[in-house]
Amino acid sequence: MEAGQSRARRSKTALPHKKGGTSHDGRAVEKVEQMAGGKGHILIERLLNEEQLNGKCGLYAKVTLEPGCTLGVHGHTGETETYYLLSGEGVYHDNDKSYPVKAGDVTFCEDGGTHGLDNTGDTELTFMALIIKG
């Protein structure tokens, strides 16, 4: 899926979810159910809006996977995606390999690659997601 393109249009909409729909300083937090066929839901806090992304960047956001939730495996074409894990632990699916990841780790999905992430811990797994176009 071309993440960040279709979903970016909703960035100004604060969807309700159980954490109140905003971050600690008021940014909208979007709840997406079964993201890319994953289990449960993800929470996306977009740090740049579409105007600020300026067509150069697909997404710059903090993403939260609550315990038991996964972000399903999906591909990127014409863009790359980097995750920087802020907290928690999980299993990252990197094309046909899977390996454990934890806070401080960086993952990189190349143009044409696939990736996914499972929260396998009992705490929130949070990470920064950056999609660079081109």
Judged by the rule CB under 5 A, the positions of this chain that interact with Mn ion are 3, 81
Nearest Cα to Cα of residue 59 among 82, 43, 36: 82
Q: Which residues contact 45 (CB under 8 A, 6 or more apart)?
A: 23, 27, 28, 29, 30, 61, 62, 63, 64
Smallest gap from residue 74 Cβ to Mn ion (A): 6
By beta carbon distance, the residue nearest Mn ion is: 81
Q: How far is the CB of 24 from Mn ion (least distance, A)?
A: 25
Output the smallest distance, CB 115 to Mn ion, in A. Answer: 6
Output the smallest distance, CB 100 to Mn ion, in A.
19
Q: How many residues does the chain have?
A: 134
Nearer to Mn ion, 21 or 34 (CB): 34
CB 73 within 8 A of CB 92: no
The C-alpha atoms of residue 34 and residue 73 are separated, in whole angstroms, by: 11
Which C-beta is closer to Mn ion: that of 22 or that of 33?
Answer: 33
**C-beta closer to Mn ion: residue 79 or 88:** 79
In the bound state with Mn ion, the residue whose beta carbon lies nearer, of 3 and 42, is 3
